Amino acid sequence: MHAVLMLALAAVAFAQTGQKAAAPEIHALPVQGNIYMLVGDGGNITMQVGKEGVLLVDTGVAEMGDQLLEAIRKITDKPIRYVINTHVHADHTGGNEKIAKAGITITGGNVAGNISDASVGSAVLAYQTVLDRMSAKPTGNQPAIPFGALPTDTYITMEKSMFFNGEGIQILHQPAAHTDGDSFVFFRRSDVVATGDIFVPSSYPIIDLERGGSLQGIINGLNRLIELTIPAEKQEGGTYVIPGHGRLCDQADVVEYRDMATIIRDRVQDMIKKGMTLEQVKAAKPTRDFDPEYGATTGFWTTDKFVEAAYRSLSPKK
Amino acid sequence: MSFSKIMLLVLLVSAPAFAQLDPSGEWAPRFHEDQPERIPGPDIGDYLGLPINDAARMRGDIWDASLLTLPEHQCKPHPADYGPRGPANLRIWKEVDRESQRLIAYHTHISWQAPERTIWMDGRPHPPEYAAHTWQGFSTGKWEGDVLTVYTTHLKIGWIRRNGIPRSDKATLTEHWVRHDDYLTLVSIVTDPAYLTEPFIRTTDWVLDPRQEIAPYPCEPVTEVVRPAGVVPHHLPGTNTFLGEFPAKYHVPAQAARGGAETMYPEYQQKLAKAAQ
């Protein structure tokens, strides 16, 4: 899984589209209630299924679009009505175009009667900055993201809610965390939260400073996640948590991860207060006791990059 | 095929797996020399006899027991590898298929925090890596002679010793359950590529106690300490002043208290004695 994560993150780092992904298979893990976790290349995908249709949280990498559709069709023949993007990165939005095109938006009344293409494609929801970044003029040699992959509906408040397939769904914005456009998606009846990359239990917190992320924002997000989730008994089960990458989790897993992120923040902050430079902080190895669990020396998100991002994120802004 | 051959085949196919020495029953723990560690709990900074690496040692050094006052930490049960080490009144019972009388699983229940565990005996595979990890993990068992050997994966992050020495979620657990009449011995082997340099082996004993009754163990988190949201108690590296208390109290050489694989073996005492000369 770690290798898959690194591959996906490498794609994120260097391109919004155009990843060359392997492992052409998506596995479906029933979670509870109406929810499945779909695991393949790229980020985890959360699928809610019911009599009104299919709702997806994230769409994985572009190259896995066909496999994703196939995985969905193995479970249901209901139409894909909604996609919700947890954030902008291509390992979570790459399949938007293909999935949206295969779906049908719920329309009615004058809209359905007068606008012939109103129901074509599923609706794609995200925080406003996701659309801003995806529709921005590409830099360097990166191709523009196709219009069909862009969110069709956005929100700018701290929360957007909807009711679909018999349950309330809260889309909760978490400011300046992994990026500046992160959302949790909380399925209240099924009791499952999809977190996007604010929570990736197989690596250190991934902070995209360029896109407005911060370590404190991630810790705030993890604490909010602990508030949202309720263990069933003896700190296990109850609310399930589908992370951006990695295995299915519950509150106890989030607590372990929050503890680690907080302890490292406190150490780096203490070093900054003492006037240590980035090089001195790196040399002091503030993560060395957690490295066997979360660290990496190769791949996209190395321990070194995490420490650097943490240092820059926590340093007073000049 | 004749009727007798068909019957023979049916018998062969449906014959229950023989439990050579069925461990089912109520078992009362025996603590012996481990009592100070298992019941009152280990001292801060006591890593003696643990095959840990530097990262695990540092996790122990920065651990603050106040962590356990956080509501989200209060009701954690011991994981499968540590459960037998606590106040471990144990019940074991078996689950059989009604039609074939084949053994499907053994189940265990332990008194402290009441964790229940299933050891699958029907040959099912372990789940994929992306499945949830649990406190008790996913266990499968098989008979090796009279010994029930159990292999466990999918454990949540846990602890090797209750003073901050961690056990990662990459760890696996191999157990050998050995019954001799009214005595039950568990040989437990934890392998952890993250925090152990060698497998960590412990034995734990019980005596059959048919009159044993295990009380319920409800747990509800409360606010034990009022503190600002988001605080996680811990010591910054190099600031834990309690670490010296254990070697001073027991007159143990400070370097021995730091643990490591070497401190598991008898030769280490000779090495210390030689160094002291």
Say whether pLDDT at B18 is over 70: no
Q: For residue B230, list chain A residues with Cβ-Cβ distance below 8 A.
A: 219-220, 223, 262
Say whether pLDDT at A81 is over 90: yes
* Mean pLDDT confidence for B203-230: 95
Query: pLDDT value at position B99?
Result: 97
**Residue bearing tokens 């009449």:** B181
The shortest C-alpha distance from A290 to chain B (Å) reads 7
Are A135 and A85 a contacting pair, CB within 8 Å?
Answer: no
Interface residue of B72, B219, B235 to substitute, partner A, most A CBs within 10 Å? B72
Exposed/middle/buried for A297, CB within 10 Å: 0-12, 13-18, 19+?
A: exposed
Q: For residue A293, list chain B residues with Cβ-Cβ distance below 8 A.
A: 157, 166, 168-170, 194
**CATH of the domain spanning A2-314, picked from 3.40.50.20, 3.60.15.10, 3.20.20.140, 2.130.10.10:** 3.60.15.10
Percent of chain A past pLDDT 70, that is, above it, reads: 88
Residue A66's φ and ψ, nearest 5 degrees, are -65, -45
* Mean pLDDT confidence for A242-247: 98
Say whether pLDDT at A276 is over 60: yes
Query: pLDDT value at position A11?
Result: 42
Exposed/middle/buried for A8, CB within 10 Å: 0-12, 13-18, 19+?
A: buried
Calpha distance A104→A154 (Å, rounded) = 18
Query: pLDDT value at position A139?
Result: 86
* Mean pLDDT confidence for A102-110: 74
When pLDDT is cut at 50, 70 and 90, the band that residue B5 belongs to is low
Residue A97's φ and ψ, nearest 5 degrees, are -60, -50
The shortest C-alpha distance from B242 to chain A (Å) reads 19
Residue A271: closest C-alpha in chain B: B236
Q: For residue B114, list chain A residues with Cβ-Cβ distance below 8 A.
A: 234
Say whether pLDDT at B12 is over 60: no
Interface residue of A216, A234, A262 to substitute, partner B, most B CBs within 10 Å? A234
The shortest C-alpha distance from B276 to chain A (Å) reads 31
Exposed/middle/buried for B221, CB within 10 Å: 0-12, 13-18, 19+?
A: middle
The shortest C-alpha distance from A260 to chain B (Å) reads 9
Number of CB pairs, chain A paired with chain B, less than 8 A apart: 97
Contact A293 B170 (CB under 8 A): yes
Report the residue from B55, B115, B156 with minimal CB separation from A288: B55
Percent of chain B past pLDDT 90, that is, above it, reads: 87
Say whether pLDDT at A273 is over 50: yes
* Mean pLDDT confidence for B117-135: 98
Contact A220 B230 (CB under 8 A): yes
Residue A235: closest C-alpha in chain B: B76
Least trusted range by pLDDT, from A52-56, A314-318, B252-256, B260-264: A314-318
Percent of chain B past pLDDT 70, that is, above it, reads: 93
Residue B77: closest C-alpha in chain A: A234
The shortest C-alpha distance from A256 to chain B (Å) reads 8
Contact B55 A291 (CB under 8 A): yes
Residue A224: closest C-alpha in chain B: B230
Residue A267: closest C-alpha in chain B: B236
Residue B114: closest C-alpha in chain A: A234
Q: Cβ of A25 under 8 Å from any chain B Cβ?
A: no
Closest CA to A253 of A216, A226, A287, A291: A226
| Enclosing H/E stretch for B12 | helix B3-14
Q: Helix A251-273 crosses helix A215-228 at what angle (to 10 degrees)?
A: 150
Contact B130 A29 (CB under 8 A): yes
Contact A226 B72 (CB under 8 A): yes
Contact B156 A252 (CB under 8 A): yes
* Mean pLDDT confidence for B7-15: 48
Q: Which residues of B170-197 are buried (b: 16+ CB within 10 A; e: fewer)?
A: bbbbbbebbbeeeebebebebebebbbb
| Enclosing H/E stretch for A173 | strand A167-174
Greater pLDDT, B94 or A119:
B94
Say whether pLDDT at B11 is over 90: no
Cα angle, residue B159 at apex, residues B115 and B146 outer, rounded to 5°: 60
Contact A253 B135 (CB under 8 A): no
Residue B196: closest C-alpha in chain A: A292
Query: pLDDT value at position B33?
Result: 84
Contact A288 B54 (CB under 8 A): yes
Write the ipTM.
0.92
Report the residue from B76, B193, B195 with minimal CB separation from A235: B76
Query: pLDDT value at position A10?
Result: 41
Q: Cβ of A155 under 8 Å from any chain B Cβ?
A: no
When pLDDT is cut at 50, 70 and 90, the band that residue B68 belongs to is very high
* Mean pLDDT confidence for B132-145: 97
Q: Cβ of A248 under 8 Å from any chain B Cβ?
A: yes
B124: region left, alpha or beta (phi > 0 left; psi from -120 to 50 alpha): beta
Report the residue from A27, A250, A292 with minimal CB separation from B195: A292
Residue B169: closest C-alpha in chain A: A293
Residue A82's φ and ψ, nearest 5 degrees, are -135, 145
3-class secondary structure for A127-140?
EHHHHHHHHCCCCC
Query: pLDDT value at position B19?
Result: 53
Contact B133 A253 (CB under 8 A): yes
Query: pLDDT value at position B13?
Result: 47
Residue A203's φ and ψ, nearest 5 degrees, are -150, 170
Q: For residue A272, list chain B residues with Cβ-Cβ distance below 8 A.
A: none
**Residue bearing tokens 């040959």:** B123
Tens of pLDDT, residues B84-114: 998 899 999 999 999 999 999 999 999 999 9
pTM confidence score = 0.92
Are A252 and A245 a contacting pair, CB within 8 Å?
Answer: no
Query: pLDDT value at position B277?
Result: 81
